[in-house]
Structure 1
């Protein structure tokens, strides 16, 4: 689902299906009208007009696709009352399916626990590196102030 949204976003920015390849308005949904208008005026043939109309139609289609995909995502996230209905559906599932689902959830749990441990380790390493760099910074500042103090004594 996220991949589909990324593909639509890529297409919208003049990727695979983008014809004009110009910038987009603040909303990110329509082509920059001033650039398109200048392109239409500078062209003597109907080629730019055709390209513009094709791009506008493509943008409309992509807007509809984006809307549908966002609705799907909202539906998949669900609301709290919907979650209770999914729990009720577990009561109706056969034991074999429940066991499979349990194994899948346990694997996902292990994966997430490993990912958490990895992030904790990475955070610990980053904290050590930060403290080391901060200590070096303090050491350099002390040296600088010492040298500055020595220079002031010499110039006085």
Structure 2
């Protein structure tokens, strides 16, 4: 007669617990990879938001600098800029091509460099259509109008472009 085995239960298991543990390990690995991808995506999104925010702040600083430059040169309230003024002073006549020398370097903020462009739009209501937003009495008292365009121009960073119009009252009226 054959002697009974010391461990008869070993022959009956046949590796079922190994299969269950491996299946749970695969499921946990897939969940871990999904969480890792999600957190990496959120990190990229927050970095892009920060980059755009820095670029917007830098462009707003460039708009402020351009407004200050325009206010510091009162001669533009009484004379019309020429193409030479565009190259020398950065105040360009109406409809000047953007590729000309009118772009001026603005401030650099948080590693984001900026440029701005000041364009003379003319005087009174002939240069800018108001569509009834500004009453007629106000448009007749307007002086020279300028459009300032500012942009961020750092390679590989968010591109932000902002515009504002500056309208001076006509000192003669």
- Give TM class, smaller chain: 0.3 to 0.5
What is the TM-score with the length of structure 2 in the denominator?
0.31
Structure with the higher helix share, 1 or 2: 1
What is the TM-score with the length of structure 1 in the denominator?
0.34
Structure with the higher strand share, 1 or 2: 2
